[in-house]
């Protein structure tokens, strides 16, 4: 604080939602900076698990201002559904929420195109939410933004142009009944609903920081899914790493004071792509059940593996991490031993650093370090001294190797299940 970025240090699903929820207690404004409804942030509210996709995880704190920045891609239908669900549970989400006019829209043709791509050789196992198509249009300068919803004629014209192009490019895609006019008509109610939420996110955050208020920038996905720094092409289409924070809300990089990296005590990945520390399925099944590792957005079983130190060192560097949070330590409580990839080898030769090529990463074999398990429940630990000696040895080794101090360890899903470092 005053401006903290929270970023995933792995392939997403590190538990950022819970951490942002906790940090929101001390924040005035929370802003999402990239991604879209591909994200699934599980947070517990009055004993019930809520999954947030587009709305920042600060929403559950009364009065907390929550903003959706220009770097996010918004599906207006899903946004409204999510806000309605929160309102139905007594969270006054609409009153707290603001949306950037220059955030791009996900439209039905983005999903239709993605369905075709994911059936072919270029499939990467996306969430099917139309994320890639929306970002492709943004960079290709054909995109529609939130503000365009309020100018019907221009919206219709641009969508018709996009559909004409896409019908040529993807003749097998299902664009049935889609025209600029029909898509705008279908959104009419949503346009009216959205208009009062639109605000100048950049100015609002700038003024908040000038008034010494505390701002949290909330990332989705994770470093290894970042379009530049991730395991390309098996990535999402946005800047999930910390630099995407200021970029995706309209601020300069000098406003950021702290960069909090969130990592699980092990690793998971959803979708296709290299995963050097992945476990054989028998072992993975065990971890998956213990950690309830199923996608919060798609329900897909997550691929499971051990912690990957080359990847974590890399995440520390490309994000400029100043603090580390380790989540789901308790999931390892029953294991006899805990393994970590200390470094990689290819054909018996040491690999220095983290390869930028997915093909090379796929050839990397972990060199393991094994820690004795702690074989004791950590779920009720609240102070560092409460942790079993073997768990502390594991954590202290991780922070030494990553070069970033662990400030919090999460030992369960509830808000209280946290060990703060003294």
Nearest distance from C-beta of residue 326 to ligand IMP, angstroms? 18
Nearest distance from C-beta of residue 135 to ligand IMP, angstroms? 8
From ligand IMP, Mg ion, none, interface partner of 96 (C-beta below 5 to 8 A by class): none
- Comparing CB distances to ligand IMP, the nearer of 223 and 237 is 237
In terms of phi and psi (left: phi > 0; alpha: psi -120 to 50; beta: otherwise), the region of 90 is: left
From ligand IMP, Mg ion, none, interface partner of 70 (C-beta below 5 to 8 A by class): none
Contact of 33 with 248, CB cutoff 8 Å: yes
**13 classed as catalytic:** yes
13 binds Mg ion (CB under 5 A): yes
From ligand IMP, Mg ion, none, interface partner of 221 (C-beta below 5 to 8 A by class): ligand IMP
- Comparing CB distances to ligand IMP, the nearer of 127 and 263 is 127
State the sign of the Cα–Cα–Cα–Cα dihedral 24, 326, 47, 291. positive
Q: What are phi and psi of 144, to 5 degrees?
A: -110, 135
Six-digit token string for 69: 């920045």
- Comparing CB distances to ligand IMP, the nearer of 40 and 276 is 40
Nearest distance from C-beta of residue 39 to ligand IMP, angstroms? 4
Nearest distance from C-beta of residue 47 to Mg ion, angstroms? 20
Binding range to Mg ion, per CB under 5 A, among 5-13, 74-82, 198-206, 311-319: 5-13
CA-nearest of 26, 31, 56 to 213 is 26
Residues 277-336 that bind Mg ion (CB under 5 A): 296
Residues that bind ligand IMP (CB under 6 A): 11-13, 38-40, 124-127, 129, 131-132, 220-221, 225, 234, 236-237, 270-271
Dihedral in degrees, nearest 10, Cα atoms 218, 224, 228, 232: -140
From ligand IMP, Mg ion, none, interface partner of 132 (C-beta below 5 to 8 A by class): ligand IMP
- Comparing CB distances to ligand IMP, the nearer of 160 and 228 is 228
If you search the block for the tokens 């050789």, which residue do you land on? Answer: 121
With H, G, I as helix, E, B as strand and everything else as coil, classify residue 106.
coil
- Per-residue HEC secondary structure of 214-263 comes to CEEEECCCCHHHCCCCCCCCCCCCCCCCCCHHHHCCCCCHHHCCEEEEEE
Q: Which residue is nearest to ligand IMP (CB)?
A: 271
Six-digit token string for 225: 């899914």
Exactly one of 2, 35, 36, 40 binds Mg ion (CB under 5 A); that residue is 40
- Comparing CB distances to ligand IMP, the nearer of 236 and 410 is 236
User: d(Cα 344, Cα 408) in Å, to the nearest integer?
Assistant: 28
- Comparing CB distances to ligand IMP, the nearer of 76 and 219 is 219
Nearest distance from C-beta of residue 8 to Mg ion, angstroms? 9
Six-digit token string for 105: 């829209």
Selected catalytic residue, list 21, 28, 41, 229: 41
Angle between the 309-319 and 389-402 helix axes, to the nearest 10 degrees?
50
**422 classed as catalytic:** no
User: d(Cα 255, Cα 238) in Å, to the nearest integer?
Assistant: 21
CA-nearest of 35, 10, 36, 51 to 341 is 10
Residue 277, Cα to own-chain centre: how many angstroms? 21
Compute how many residues bind Mg ion; rule: CB under 5 A. 3
From Mg ion, ligand IMP, none, interface partner of 271 (C-beta below 5 to 8 A by class): ligand IMP
Nearest distance from C-beta of residue 296 to Mg ion, angstroms? 5
Q: Which residues bind Mg ion (CB under 5 A)?
A: 13, 40, 296
Could you list the active site residues?
13, 41
């Amino acid at each position: 604080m005053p401006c903290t970025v929270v970023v995933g240090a792995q392939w997403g699903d590190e538990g950022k939602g819970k951490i942002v929820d906790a940090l929101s207690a001390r924040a005035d404004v929370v802003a999402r900076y990239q991604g879209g409804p591909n994200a699934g942030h599980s947070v517990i509210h009055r004993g019930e698990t809520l999954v947030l996709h587009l709305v920042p995880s600060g929403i559950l704190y009364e009065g907390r201002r929550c903003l959706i920045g220009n770097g996010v891609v918004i599906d207006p239908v899903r946004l409204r559904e999510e806000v309605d669900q929160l309102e139905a549970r007594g969270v006054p989400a609409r009153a707290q929420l603001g949306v950037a006019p220059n955030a791009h829209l996900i439209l039905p043709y983005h999903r239709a195109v993605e369905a075709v791509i994911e059936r072919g050789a270029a499939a990467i196992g996306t969430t099917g939410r139309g994320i890639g198509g929306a970002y492709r249009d943004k960079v290709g300068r054909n995109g529609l933004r939130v503000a365009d919803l309020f100018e019907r004629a221009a919206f219709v014209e641009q969508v018709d142009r996009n559909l004409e192009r896409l019908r040529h490019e993807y003749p097998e895609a299902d664009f049935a009944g889609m025209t600029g006019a029909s898509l705008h008509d279908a959104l009419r109610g949503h346009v009216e609903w959205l208009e009062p939420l639109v605000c100048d996110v950049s100015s609002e955050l700038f003024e908040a920081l000038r008034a010494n208020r505390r701002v949290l920038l909330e990332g989705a996905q994770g470093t290894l899914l970042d379009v530049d720094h991730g395991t390309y092409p098996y990535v999402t289409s946005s800047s999930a790493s910390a630099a995407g924070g200021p970029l995706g809300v309209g601020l300069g990089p000098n406003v950021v004071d702290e960069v909090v990296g969130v990592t699980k005590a092990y690793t998971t990945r959803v979708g296709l792509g290299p995963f050097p520390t992945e476990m054989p399925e028998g072992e993975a099944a065990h971890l998956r059940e213990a950690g309830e590792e199923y996608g919060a957005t798609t329900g897909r079983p997550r691929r499971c593996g051990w912690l990957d130190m080359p990847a974590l060192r890399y995440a520390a560097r490309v994000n400029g991490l100043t603090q580390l949070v380790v989540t789901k330590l308790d999931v390892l409580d029953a294991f006899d031993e805990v393994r970590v990839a200390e470094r990689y080898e290819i054909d018996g030769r040491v690999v220095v650093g983290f390869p930028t090529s997915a093909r090379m990463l796929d050839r990397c074999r972990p060199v393991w370090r094994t820690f004795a398990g702690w074989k004791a429940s950590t779920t009720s630990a609240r102070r560092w001294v409460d942790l079993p000696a073997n768990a502390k040895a594991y954590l202290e080794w991780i922070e030494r190797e990553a070069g970033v101090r662990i400030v919090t360890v999460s030992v369960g899903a509830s808000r209280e299940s946290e060990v703060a470092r003294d």
